[in-house]
Amino acid sequence: MFKISGTGHALPERIVTNDELSTFLDTSDEWISKRTGIKSRRVITDESLSQLAARASLNALEMAGVKADELDLIIATSCTPEKVVPGIGCMVQELIGASCPAFDISSACSGFLMALDAATAYFKSGRVKKMLVVSAENMTRFVDWTDRSTCVLFGDGAGAVVLREGDNLLSIKMHTHGTHGTVGIEGPKGNSPFETVEWPERNSCTFMNGQETYKYAVGAMSGDIEEAAAMAGIEPADIDHIVPHQANLRIIMATQSKLGIPMERFCTGIEYLGNTSSASEPIVLDVENRKGRFKEGDIVAFAAFGAGLTDGGAIYRW
């Protein structure tokens, strides 16, 4: 299958702290920190999402020592794309100077793992030797900034990995439960003269049943790590590092407590990122990788959940 030969990320310049949010929302640093672990988030101002995605991709390519024109495929993931079409993958292809096919996956916060799962099929079939997965999200454009129960949770950013042939991915398993309703973003309001249904909720803002999502997330993250570990023939206790989707520190801690794995093994960036949806795992992976956290042979687990509902886990040997 593949190995990760380069990681990269890019964040918008603008930092928005919880205290800044409390200047225009009925909220506080105390509430947000205690309930979510978030202290600040990065917010897009004058950057474009495709520029962030391209910067993250170039960082990953540089680390991998791969030139953009050597890539055989780009898979981008975003549930908050800059345009409906073309996809972020096509825009990144142009910005980094690649010439390979590119397409997008929209699978909310599970997008990065869905892309890795798709990548396994391309490598297995021999159709690619070098590819880029880039996850980029502009969640702050798709929230209602007057709704304190959702807007305080999200941030923007992009993360990327360059994949080459290798046997380091030991297992991956994705799930979808099309139980629409727990969390989502409605499509844009159209102006078709033929549409006869009123869609007042079509405001393109994130809606969420927080507590239902929370319960689902904890069960899914721990179950997916156990399932991926069993597929790889290891015990959860053998995992050296876990890179979970960063939605809420309490979800990560509850997952930790269910699995009985020490908290130090969980990579977290929620405090300075907020929830950056599919970008959260590759961002945190790159931040920790550049600190030298992962040693050759270390077992790294990934786990994610998101709108769909979708979820999944993977086990990777560094």
Active site residues: 109, 245, 275
E strands along the chain, which residues? 2-10, 14-17, 40-43, 73-77, 102-105, 130-138, 156-165, 169-176, 183-185, 206-208, 241-244, 299-306, 310-317
Does residue 183 touch ligand ACO according to CB under 6 A?
Answer: yes
Output the CA torsion sign for 266, 271, 276, 282: negative
| CA nearest neighbour of 172 among 304, 266, 265, 275 | 304
Site for ligand ACO (CB under 6 A): how many residues? 25
Q: Which of 68, 133, 208, 287 binds ligand ACO (CB under 6 A)?
A: 208
In Å, how far are 120, 299, 317 from 294, measured between CA atoms? 22, 9, 10
Does residue 152 touch ligand ACO according to CB under 6 A?
Answer: yes
In angstroms, give the least distance from the CB of 149 to ligand ACO: 4
Q: Which of 61, 102, 218, 307 binds ligand ACO (CB under 6 A)?
A: 307
In angstroms, give the least distance from the CB of 250 to ligand ACO: 7
Does residue 108 touch ligand ACO according to CB under 6 A?
Answer: yes
Q: Which of 7, 36, 135, 289 binds ligand ACO (CB under 6 A)?
A: 36
Does residue 270 touch ligand ACO according to CB under 6 A?
Answer: no
| CA nearest neighbour of 39 among 263, 275, 281, 272 | 272
In angstroms, give the least distance from the CB of 8 to ligand ACO: 23
Q: Among the candidate windows 29-37, 83-91, 171-179, 233-241, which touches ligand ACO by CB under 6 A?
A: 29-37
